[in-house]
Amino acid sequence: MDTNQMEDFAKEQVEDVKDEIASKGDCARALVERVRVKSDDFLESTREEFRRSPVAFMAGALTFGFALGCIIMSGRQPVSPQRRLYNRSREQAHDLVSNASDRISHAAANLKFW
């Protein structure tokens, strides 16, 4: 293969890639348009339903919110009094050790060995 043939081959490949990109771009634009239309339809039907029966709609929304809140809260574990006492004791012990360490390092810094 000489350089002219390689150049022609490269140009063909570039054109193929450009065509493929353009095709994918068209598909993406069409998909975005379909999603936009469907979301507009869904929004309009939701508005209609809300206008028809706002009380039922709000009751459903509250029920959904309550269920979602229960699911979220069920993942949390309450802190027991024993765990709270343990955490407080551990923090106090940490503070004492840290304070003692600071004092020792301060005293060591002030010592002079001849």
pLDDT tops 90 at residue 14: no
Tell me the C-alpha distance between 53 and 46, whole Å: 11
| 81 contact partners, CB below 8 Å, separation of at least 6 | none
Query: Using the 8-state DSSP alphabet, how is residue 79 labeled?
Result: P
Among 11-15, 24-28, 46-50, 77-81, where is mean pLDDT lowest?
77-81
Mean pLDDT for 92-108 is: 85
H or E element at residue 77: none
**pLDDT recorded at residue 113:** 61
Question: Of 78, 96, 77, which is closest to residue 88 (Cα–Cα)?
Answer: 96
Distance of CA 15 to the CA centre of its chain: 39
DSSP readout, 3-35? HHHHHHHHHHHHHHHHHHHHHHHHHHHHHHHHH
**pLDDT tens-digit profile of 53-86?**
888 888 888 999 999 988 888 777 777 888 888 8
**Global pTM?**
0.40
**pLDDT recorded at residue 1:** 62
Please report how many Cα atoms fall inside a 13 Å half-sphere around the Cα of residue 107, on the Cβ side.
Answer: 6
Question: pLDDT confidence of 35, banded at 50, 70, 90?
Answer: very high
Residue 72 identity (one-letter amino acid): I
